[in-house]
Structure 1
Amino acid sequence: MDTMVKHRHSLSKNQKWVIASTSSGFALENMDVLFLSFAMSSMIADLHLSGGAAGFVSTITNLGMLVGGIAFGILGDKIGRVKTFSHTVIIFAIATALMAFANNIYMIYGLRFLAGIGAGGEYGVGIALIAENFHKEQIGKMTSVAAIGGQIGAILAALIAAWIIPTAGWHMLFLVGIIPVVLTIFIRKHVHESEQFLEAKASENNSLLSDVAKKMFSTPRLAWQTLG
């Protein structure tokens, strides 16, 4: 009994890489999102934006996150969580870095929508990675650890913005967003798909996506919760 408990709560090498990767990913994602908040006043002054135009930048970012969450959730079921997670990191990192060259509101809208797609997809796939690689008794703790990574990203964003914006301007702040690309190298090298996912993919009768969809609407209560 004691041996089973000890084994259950000791982390394997892959589990350690999963939580390290998701925590780092959430940190960099949150840092990216908050860069926009810290740079907004400078962007408004530099590009002479109206209040409505500036506010829509955040709105379109959130719309991108909605699209990314849905699209990459489906893609993750097709090609794997690890590949999808690394793709999402690359998308929001490059889109953020390209903000350094944005000099009109329409380019900003496009890049922020693209960054939102990557960020929304990364969060959903990251949670799926945690859920599939840890015992159900560990999931709550591990998602909390990953969320702490997000808070660290917020602190880093504040410190970096306070240093870069006054000295180099808001464009250079977003160039820092290219850093998350480095994370994908470690993800692809060290993180592997869970046994649960591999078993689901090996089955020719059902896909993991269809199984999840069936469970989400299996009872009236679950259907109502899913729609909520």
Structure 2
Amino acid sequence: MQENQVVENLIRKNNLPEKIPEENNTEQKKTMNSKKLILYSSVFAIQGLSNAVIPVLPELAGEGNANPAISSLLYSGYFIGAFLTLLPFGILADRIGNLKVAGLGITLTAISGLFISFSDNLWILGISRFVEGLGCGAFFPAAFSMIVEWKDSQRSMGEFNFLLNAGLAAGVFFSGMLAEMGIKTAINIFTVLAGFSFALLLPEAWELVHSDSSGGRKKKSGTSNHKEPLGKKPESPMNLEPANYLEKFRQAFSESRIWKIWGISVLLYGTTGILTANYADYSADFLTKPELGLAIAASYVAAMLSSLAAGRTGADYKKIVRTGLVLATAGILLSVKAPLLAFFLIGAGGGAAIIGLVTAMSRISSSGFTMGIFNTGIYAGLGIVPVFGSIFIELLGYEKVFLGSSLVLLMMLFVKLE
């Protein structure tokens, strides 16, 4: 009895988790598996839909509008929408729960897919791509925050990134292969898949609403052992005012580690984004639509494999990031001579680097706020850099801009991630 009392006192004093009954543990595993199914199916549909437009960007822009600026705007509208909302939705996930915000992202994706499928108006397409980006902005910080807190977080992140890139690969591949049947055939398919993910979400949504309406305080979905940014003590969700987040934002960006991770993310995804956004126009004279779809899909197949490998390796995250940067740089350099090999190397580099970068950021914090900051780096690169790149393409030409991009990315090898 005395020993039991001592153990209970230690648990209360150190806030240690009490032993979980086996029945509750089984229930938790079922809950986590259902959340995995939702996240895994959703990331495939979201990324597939976002990439299904790439091989048909000139056709979506419409006759007479097929130039680098219009194509880049349609490409980047998605990423700009994501960039502007990743941090706000990360904050919202900390306040109301990760699964609720991820569910909002799935819903916005399905809605935007419907508008893209049924409209040919350039303005509606552009706005729909932006709304699709809002869905991405809601989904990823919440999903990352959920995954990095699971016991098998590195393995799960590898699986999640595998499916992320599988969706990207399927989007460009089927869009190119099915273009002759209709330029929106692949877009329609991934809109249906997004609707399927939304259907999977409904039982969980009902449970969340029912729990909230019963008056019980439900623990934030998908989180456990939650770490606040920069080692600060956890706060009650009701006390998280805008002033608090402004202070956290200021403190976060005073941390050199976050700046380094953020900057590498911007340049890695920005330089490869320039290539991806403009390759349809650049390769129009020597690649067919199916060949273009196959080449770009190769990058995502490579990213699938490298992300799984990086998720299971025991290598230091800094080595993983550096390896990814070298592979991506080599791919950009080879893009003017060997498209298939080039995109394969770019994908392998990006797939490996993202695992290392997420690991580096999670060592600072696993909150939706911090994951929102991390994701803004990715989508700032994908959304903003290609637009600026298109300006230089008109002045200097494709090949000089691709070469300059590879040199800028190579410089990131000298950034020390501590």
Give the corresponding residue for 1:144. 158
Say if 1:65 and 1:120, in contact at 8 Å, map to a contact too: yes
Change in Cα spacing, 1:220 to 1:53, as seen in structure 2 (3 Å) is closer
Structure possessing the higher radius of gyration over alpha carbons: 2
Q: How does 1:103-122 map to 2 (within 5 A)?
A: 103-122=120-139
Q: Higher helix fraction: Structure 1 or Structure 2?
A: 1
Once residues 125 and 136 of structure 2 are traced to their aligned partners in structure 1, the CA distance between those partners, rounded to angstroms, is 16
Say if 1:82 and 1:188, in contact at 8 Å, map to a contact too: no
Once residues 195 and 55 of structure 1 are traced to their aligned partners in structure 2, the CA distance between those partners, rounded to angstroms, is 37
Displacement of 1:170 in angstroms is 1.8
Give the corresponding residue for 2:94. 77
Once residues 155 and 70 of structure 1 are traced to their aligned partners in structure 2, the CA distance between those partners, rounded to angstroms, is 27
Secondary structure of 2:52 counterpart: helix
Residues 1:196 and 2:224 are matched in the alignment: yes
Secondary structure of 2:184 counterpart: helix
Give the corresponding residue for 1:171. 184
Change in Cα spacing, 1:74 to 1:203, as seen in structure 2 (3 Å) is closer
AA aligned opposite 1:213: K
Q: Percent identity?
A: 13
Displacement of 1:94 in angstroms is 1.3
Aligned length: 215
Change in Cα spacing, 1:65 to 1:205, as seen in structure 2 (3 Å) is closer
Change in Cα spacing, 1:50 to 1:26, as seen in structure 2 (3 Å) is same
CA RMSD of aligned residues (A): 3.5
AA aligned opposite 2:222: S
Unaligned runs of 5+ in 2: 1-18, 209-220, 227-233, 264-418
Give the corresponding residue for 2:107. 90
TM-score of the two chains, using structure 2 as the length reference: 0.44
TM-score of the two chains, using structure 1 as the length reference: 0.76
Residues 45-102 of structure 1: per-residue CA shift (max 9 Å, x gap): x443131212211122210110231232122122211111111011012102211222
| Aligned equivalent of 2:199, options 178, 185, 193 | 185
Q: How does 1:1-228 map to 2 (within 5 A)?
A: 12-44=29-61, 46-51=62-67, 52-132=69-149, 134-135=150-151, 138-162=152-176, 164-167=178-181, 169-176=182-189, 177-190=191-204, 193-194=221-222, 196=224, 210=245, 213=248, 217=252, 220-222=255-257, 224-225=259-260, 228=263
Once residues 218 and 156 of structure 1 are traced to their aligned partners in structure 2, the CA distance between those partners, rounded to angstroms, is 36
Say if 1:47 and 1:104, in contact at 8 Å, map to a contact too: no
Once residues 54 and 169 of structure 2 are traced to their aligned partners in structure 1, the CA distance between those partners, rounded to angstroms, is 13
Once residues 13 and 213 of structure 1 are traced to their aligned partners in structure 2, the CA distance between those partners, rounded to angstroms, is 35
Displacement of 1:206 in angstroms is 5.5
Say if 1:91 and 1:114, in contact at 8 Å, map to a contact too: yes
Change in Cα spacing, 1:88 to 1:195, as seen in structure 2 (3 Å) is closer
Say if 1:72 and 1:121, in contact at 8 Å, map to a contact too: yes
Secondary structure of 1:185 counterpart: helix
AA aligned opposite 2:52: F
AA aligned opposite 1:22: L
AA aligned opposite 1:15: M
Displacement of 1:103 in angstroms is 1.9
Displacement of 1:109 in angstroms is 1.1
